[in-house]
Amino acid sequence: MRWKSQIHSIEINDKKFNRASKRFAKRKRIHIHHGSSPDVLSEILDSFKTPTLFWLDAHFNSTDPLPLRDELATITNGRDVSGDVFLIDDLKMFITDEDEEFEAKEPFRGERPGGGVQFLSEILLNHKVLFSRAQNGIAIALPKDLENPLKFIKKPNLLFEPDAPSDS
């Protein structure tokens, strides 16, 4: 079976945008957009079919220090996201000492201006949000109505629910 889905990637950095545009120029189903992710998302969201997989990168960029909240607000504003899946990496900028999900063997180093990760569960109400310390902190938000959400994850022992103790 041929892959028929569309991939949209948004890059605010000029050099990275140019490099990605050249790399994927011959791939008709890969679309590289240039600009602020919330702005570009608001322009292209109507073309997305549900369910949609969103992979969001929570780290700093050159113009918006923490675009994740704005990205999620743009995606969820007036749109049914109940069947969508969200992968979010680089959550270290949001993790605080109060985030029990990330009780640490080794704490994240550096400043964390994001104010905690609980807002993910508050925004994605129809999702089961799982967290991991892997890769500078990740979250996977799966629709709550999935019978076995962990079947999508190859190493479920890397993830844990916010209110459940970690096995590590």
Bridge-based pairing state of the strands 138-143 and 127-132:
antiparallel
pLDDT of residue 109: 45
Q: Are residue 136 and residue 91 in the same domain, yes or no?
A: yes
Q: Are residue 15 and residue 59 in the same domain, yes or no?
A: no
pLDDT of residue 32: 94
Q: Are residue 73 and residue 29 in the same domain, yes or no?
A: no
Task: Let me know if residue 43 belongs to a domain.
Answer: no
pLDDT of residue 100: 52
Q: What is the DSSP string of 8-46?
A: EEEE-SHHHHHHHHHHTTT-TTEEEEES-HHHHHHHHGG
pLDDT of residue 98: 59
pLDDT of residue 23: 96
For residue 57, the SS3 value is strand
Identify the segments of the chain with pLDDT beneath 70: 1-4, 50, 58-65, 95-116, 135, 147-168
pLDDT, tens digit, 9 for 90 and up, residues 154-167: 444 444 444 433 44
pLDDT of residue 154: 46
Task: Let me know if residue 158 belongs to a domain.
Answer: no
pLDDT of residue 160: 44
What is the extent of the structural domain holding 108? 50-146
Task: Let me know if residue 75 belongs to a domain.
Answer: yes
Q: What total of structural domains would you count in the chain?
A: 2
Q: Are residue 31 and residue 104 in the same domain, yes or no?
A: no
Q: Are residue 71 and residue 141 in the same domain, yes or no?
A: yes
Q: Are residue 81 and residue 119 in the same domain, yes or no?
A: yes
pLDDT, tens digit, 9 for 90 and up, residues 116-127: 677 788 888 888
